[in-house]
Amino acid sequence: MIVSFRITTNDATNNTPTTTAVCRDIVCPTSDSDSMAASDSTASDRACWSKDTEHLPDRNQISSIRQTGGAPRRPTCHSLLKLSVAVNICSCYPDCMARSELRQVTRDAIRTRITEEAERLFVEQGFETTTVDVIASRVGMSQRSFFRYFGSKEDVVLDNYDRLGQDLLDRFSACPSSEPDWVALRRAFDVVAEQYADSDRRQRGAAIQQIVELSPALLSGYLERLDRMQRQLAIALRGRIVARNPHATVDDVALRAVVGAAFACLQAVVSEASQAGSGADLGERLDAVMTIIKPCGLE
């Protein structure tokens, strides 16, 4: 793996300007026996790192040292120590990947917690009167921490539709290529049917959808994401057709219309379920409606 990084440190002495070390591309080892070398072929640009002995990198590993308000200078022991820490982190790539995946899982869990608490507050107090401070306090974090996960309270609501779009695409892509395309689209909508089968999720989802429809900003963001879902599924549908027959003539506009028709079926059934206050049979209703509306010329 090639890594380029920039480290800003302060010299150990007082009243000195900040020193920035700009490192060349470095090859990080993936095992203890591997070494680290600069991407250039000249000897002066080569550096070696041993995580067993924890040697500091060679000074020639530094391609340039810039001092704010002054002339270029060599790195101090202080800056080299900071550099060695950064290189040591990258020196075990598999461990770094595992830690990165763990951090992402933790981040996703926190985002989910924020979303769930925010939705409850929106339902209880209304969207307009619920502030970011209130959401952060309910979750047990500062406002500053909240903005590490969401840019605004609007993003909290719209994130649901981002995740829904990805879930629909994942379900559709997981369908066997031998399965009829219209059936694969129906199987993708199982994501929604499963949500409506849970009464708590159904009621909260209906309340959030009402909030979205009453807010011009949220409604605009929702429609944008709805269009994105359909475009992504149309692209995936095209891929299925071409995978079965590389020489097939594909009409992209027709595919968009097909996906739009599938979403129209979903919207009609969801609307019916919301008015009835029950979604236990949403899957069966969706099967029936999509059977009637199945487009001609599509598998």
Tally the C-alpha atoms within 13 A of residue 117's C-alpha that lie toward its C-beta. 18
Same domain, 284 and 227: yes
58-67, 145-154, 279-288, range with greatest mean pLDDT:
145-154
pLDDT at 243 (0 to 100):
93
233, 215, 111, 121: which is closest to 172 by C-alpha? 233
pLDDT at 144 (0 to 100):
93
pLDDT at 19 (0 to 100):
37
Residue 75: pLDDT above 90?
A: no
Contacts 24+ apart (CB under 8 A), 54-58: 54/84, 54/88, 56/80, 56/81, 56/83, 56/84, 57/83, 57/84, 57/87
Residue 199: pLDDT above 60?
A: yes
Same domain, 167 and 247: yes
Same domain, 13 and 67: yes
Region 271-276: mean pLDDT is 82
Judge whether 13 lies within some domain.
Answer: yes
Same domain, 87 and 68: yes
Among 132, 151, 170, the domain boundary falls at 151
Among 39, 58, 91, the domain boundary falls at 91
Judge whether 42 lies within some domain.
Answer: yes
Same domain, 288 and 157: yes
Per residue in 77-122, pLDDT (tens digit) is: 444 334 444 444 444 555 655 666 767 778 888 998 999 899 899 9
Q: Which of 44-48, 107-111, 224-228, 275-279 comes out lowest in average pLDDT?
A: 44-48
- Residue 23 pairs with which residues in a beta bridge? 62
Same domain, 195 and 144: no
Take residue 203 and report the two structure tokens written for it: 């009621």
Judge whether 298 lies within some domain.
Answer: no
Judge whether 299 lies within some domain.
Answer: no
Same domain, 217 and 267: yes
CATH number at residue 110: 1.10.10.60
Backbone phi and psi for residue 2, each to the nearest 5 degrees, phi listed first: -100, 130
pLDDT at 209 (0 to 100):
87
Same domain, 267 and 212: yes
Same domain, 128 and 194: no
pLDDT at 43 (0 to 100):
38
Same domain, 170 and 259: yes
pLDDT at 27 (0 to 100):
40
Region 256-284: mean pLDDT is 87
Judge whether 99 lies within some domain.
Answer: no
Per residue in 16-52, pLDDT (tens digit) is: 344 333 444 434 443 444 433 333 433 333 333 333 3
Same domain, 176 and 254: yes
CATH number at residue 259: 1.10.357.10
Question: Domain total for the chain?
Answer: 3
Judge whether 97 lies within some domain.
Answer: no
pLDDT at 85 (0 to 100):
40
Among 151, 167, 189, the domain boundary falls at 151
Residue 217: pLDDT above 70?
A: yes
Sequence-ordered alpha helix ranges (H) in 126-251: 132-139, 143-146, 153-174, 181-188, 190-197, 199-214, 216-244
Judge whether 98 lies within some domain.
Answer: no
pLDDT at 102 (0 to 100):
67
Same domain, 230 and 289: yes
pLDDT at 228 (0 to 100):
96
pLDDT at 73 (0 to 100):
46
* Mean pLDDT, all residues of the chain: 74
* Residue 43 or 199, more confident: 199
Parent domain of 172: 152-293
pLDDT at 103 (0 to 100):
72
Judge whether 100 lies within some domain.
Answer: no
